[in-house]
Structure 1
Amino acid sequence: MFVPLAIAAFGIVLRGASFAFRKTVVTVRFRRVFGGLFALSSVLVPFCFGAIAGGIASGRVPAGGKAGDPVGSWLNRTSLVTGGLAVVLAAYLAAVYLVRDARRAGDTDLAGYFRRRAVLSAVAAAVVAVIGFVVLSASAPHVFDRLISWALPPVVLSVLSGFGALVLLVRGAARGARVLAVVAVACIIFSWGVAQWPYLLPESVTVSAAAAPTGTLITLLVAVGLAVLIVLPGFVLLYVLDQRRLLPEEGVEDAADRIVDTEAG
């Protein structure tokens, strides 16, 4: 899985760099370039992580440190479906969040634009999820069997939450859709973990067998806890300030905006 992991790492860096540079360049041409790179990386990263999950679930990663196929391990029918599902779910959540942001900004046209895309991506996610169930039943029977047994409650909750969010989006309701969308996606991820438990590599390596020594785990937990205490308050403050529109505008003025302002004057 070093190939998709490397692509995902490159995509994360490219996404952040494109976002930053797009806010500093002036010409429309370069803004389109960085915007395109941002969009490309936003597709690559979730696809790679979804493909990795599909490759692991379908037994494409051999146990014992043996070398697997660097291409076939993550470019197979299971990985393609799970990677596609990850991309669609990311697009769905982004559209739902942007509906709320557009409404808060008072832009009804933009809210309708993202609402339509949220509905379309929700329908696409449902279709891909159904296809994924069919593919998993053949390529990853262990995960599929537990999805329809032990992991069935979160699966049902995901379906109900997703349907509720879809109804609210279609009706143009102002509240509730974002919470239900988050619950639906979170339940999908949680149900996958329940279905694969207790295996890290299904039916070959358990989580307990692959765990590091106790001292290493304790040190890691302490480091993560300290990082949360240090970093999380800043993120919470940033989110609250952004939601209340108290942050100053960043970046430079768009050249196209200056042209429009000149023609209007």
Structure 2
Amino acid sequence: MSTAVAVVLLVAVVAYAMFGGADFGAGFWDLTAGGPRRGARPRAVVENSIGPVWEANHVWLIFILVVLWTSFSEAYASITLTLFVPLTIAALGIVLRGVSFAFRKAVVTTGIKRIFGGGFAISSVLVPYCMGAIVGGIASGRVPPGGRAGDPVGSWINPTSVVGGVLAVAAAAYLAAVYLVWDARRMDEPDLAEYFRRRAVASGIVVAVLAAGGAFVLRADAAYLFDGLTSRALPVLIVSTLCGAGALLLLFRGAARGARILALVAVACAVVSWGVAQWPYVLPETLTFAAAAAPSGTLTAVLVAAALAVVVVLPGFVLLYVLDQRGLLPEEGVDDRADHHTRLKESGA
């Protein structure tokens, strides 16, 4: 029973990495787009791409936390007590990001728009970094079992956490750039499609280099995870590598649709390989999923709730993403008042 719930948890983590990760990555390209004039068009593609779906993507994070808390409470207590600093930063960053994204479109003056834009972009980098650092702290065995607090600093400021954080930011940026190539083409902006294609290729290469270099860090700092990645998780890791290479090849050739699918599979398999490599531990070498599991009645209720969510909630997500990709959803938010004033001036009104 605990294995089934662990699989549900891993699937939710994969979903958050694919959809929420691309959401955060779009903020990275917003941050690096340049000044108000030069970056206006790329930022418009970013807003159009994530506007209808950015709120929905965080449902996966809530689901992950609820399942972990309900099903593996001892591990949940240890993780939150030890890693409360990056968890708090990530939570505040998510709030800041949402507020900034919503209000940037409603304000008039350029200075205020820059403040909200900076909040959105910086938090879009900070949150995935903290998420990767949290994973690094868990994977390297720095979270103690028994619902006890570990080192609040060393648990997330260490070699594995740094690699995990930087790799999370790079992977999110890569996924977002691949998505934005498709969205720019859908918006009939071929020059912007090329703009994001070049960035997708560059960020994909960066991810590959970071992953290769990170292997040496894991070997020295997270031996159990490294051993798992080079043994039981190796087939999944190979699939991730092949799909990533295929996505880069298609991006070089300008095949956005195929590259998007392969990029998704590559990231999903990378996350799955982490889960398989760490198995059967929720906290490596100290606490297994079976030992941390709640009573069977609780696990059964969680599985039933997850099954109901698949039936009731998942179709809504599918419909939302399909409508978004077909351009059938209205643009999120209100009309930009600054743009309205500009149009009035141009018309002489």
Q: Does the aligned pair in 2 maintain the 1:50–1:85 contact within 8 Å? A: yes
Aligned partner of 1:130: which letter? A
> Could you say which residue in structure 1 is the equivalent of 2:148?
66
How many Å separate the matches in 2 of 1:243 and 1:102?
11
How many Å separate the matches in 1 of 2:160 and 2:337?
43
> Could you say which residue in structure 1 is the equivalent of 2:313?
231
1:80 to 159, 162, 165: 162
Q: Which runs of 4+ in 1 moved over 6 A?
A: none
How many Å separate the matches in 2 of 1:28 and 1:257?
14
Cα shift at 1:191: 0.3
> Could you say which residue in structure 2 is the equivalent of 1:24?
106
How many Å separate the matches in 2 of 1:48 and 1:174?
30
| Structure 1 range deviating more: 10-19 or 49-58 | 10-19
How many Å separate the matches in 1 of 2:300 and 2:251?
44
In the alignment, structure 1 segments of 5+ residues that lack a partner are none
Secondary structure at the aligned position of 1:208 is classed as helix
1:57 to 133, 136, 139: 139
Q: Deviations over 1:111-159 (max 9, x none)?
A: 1111111111101101110111000001111111111111111111111
How many Å separate the matches in 1 of 2:340 and 2:246?
39
Q: Does the aligned pair in 2 maintain the 1:100–1:111 contact within 8 Å? A: yes
Q: Does the aligned pair in 1 maintain the 2:106–2:337 contact within 8 Å? A: no
> Could you say which residue in structure 2 is the equivalent of 1:255?
338
Cα shift at 1:262: 4.8
Secondary structure at the aligned position of 2:212 is classed as helix
In the alignment, structure 2 segments of 5+ residues that lack a partner are 1-82
> Could you say which residue in structure 2 is the equivalent of 1:197?
279
2:174 to 85, 92, 95: 92
Verify: 1:243 aligned to 2:318, yes or no: no
Aligned partner of 1:247: which letter? L
Q: Does the aligned pair in 1 maintain the 2:250–2:258 contact within 8 Å? A: yes
Root-mean-square deviation over aligned CA pairs: 1.9
Q: Does the aligned pair in 2 maintain the 1:25–1:252 contact within 8 Å? A: no
Secondary structure at the aligned position of 1:150 is classed as coil
Secondary structure at the aligned position of 1:3 is classed as helix
> Could you say which residue in structure 2 is the equivalent of 1:183?
265
Q: Normalization by structure 2: what TM-score?
A: 0.71
Aligned partner of 2:94: which letter? I
Q: Normalization by structure 1: what TM-score?
A: 0.93
> Could you say which residue in structure 1 is the equivalent of 2:119?
37
| Structure 1 range deviating more: 248-257 or 87-96 | 248-257
Report which structure shows greater RCO (CA 8 Å, sep ≥6).
2
Cα shift at 1:38: 1.2
Cα shift at 1:198: 0.3
How many Å separate the matches in 1 of 2:338 and 2:255?
36
Q: Does the aligned pair in 2 maintain the 1:56–1:202 contact within 8 Å? A: yes
1:211 to 273, 293, 298: 293
Aligned residues: 265
How many Å separate the matches in 1 of 2:317 and 2:100?
21
> Could you say which residue in structure 1 is the equivalent of 2:249?
167
Cα shift at 1:245: 1.5
| Structure 1 range deviating more: 6-15 or 255-264 | 255-264
Q: Does the aligned pair in 2 maintain the 1:26–1:252 contact within 8 Å? A: no
Q: Does the aligned pair in 1 maintain the 2:107–2:338 contact within 8 Å? A: no
How many Å separate the matches in 2 of 1:30 and 1:231?
37
